[in-house]
Amino acid sequence: MPIIEAMKALALAIIVTAIPPAFTLEEGLASWYGGKFQGRLTSSGEVFDTNLLTAAHKTLPFGTLVKVTNLANGRSTVVRINDRGPFVEGRIIDLSRAAAEQIEMVGTGTAWVSVEVLSFSSDRFAIQVGAYALERNAEKVRRHLEEAGFLVSLERTVLGVTRVMVRGVSEKDLETTRTALAGLGYGGHVVRPEQPEGTDRDGS
Res. 12: pLDDT tops 90: no
In whole angstroms, give the CA distance from residue 201 to residue 191: 27
* Confidence tier at 199 by pLDDT (50, 70, 90): very low
Res. 187: pLDDT tops 80: yes
Round the average pLDDT of the chain to a whole number and report it: 84
Work out the percent of the chain whose per-residue pLDDT is above 70.
84
Better-predicted residue by pLDDT, 138 or 9: 138
Res. 116: pLDDT tops 80: yes
Q: Is residue 176 part of a domain?
A: yes
Whether residue 46 is found in the same domain as residue 109: yes
Whether residue 113 is found in the same domain as residue 130: no
Structural domain that includes position 157: 124-193
Whether residue 97 is found in the same domain as residue 184: no
In whole angstroms, give the CA distance from residue 29 to residue 70: 10
| Single pTM value for the model | 0.68
Whether residue 113 is found in the same domain as residue 166: no
Whether residue 39 is found in the same domain as residue 98: yes
Whether residue 139 is found in the same domain as residue 102: no
Work out the percent of the chain whose per-residue pLDDT is above 90.
61
Whether residue 32 is found in the same domain as residue 83: yes
Predicted local distance difference test score (pLDDT) of residue 195: 62
Which residues make Cβ contacts (< 8 Å) with residue 169, sequence separation at least 6?
A: 124, 125, 126, 127, 177
Out of 100-104, 130-134, 188-192, pick the least confident. 188-192
Predicted local distance difference test score (pLDDT) of residue 19: 37
Domain count, the chain: 2
**Residue 54 contacts residue 83 (beta carbons within 8 Å):** yes
3-state secondary structure of 99: helix
Predicted local distance difference test score (pLDDT) of residue 197: 43
pLDDT in tens, 16-33: 333 344 688 899 999 999
Q: What is the mean pLDDT of residues 186-202?
A: 65
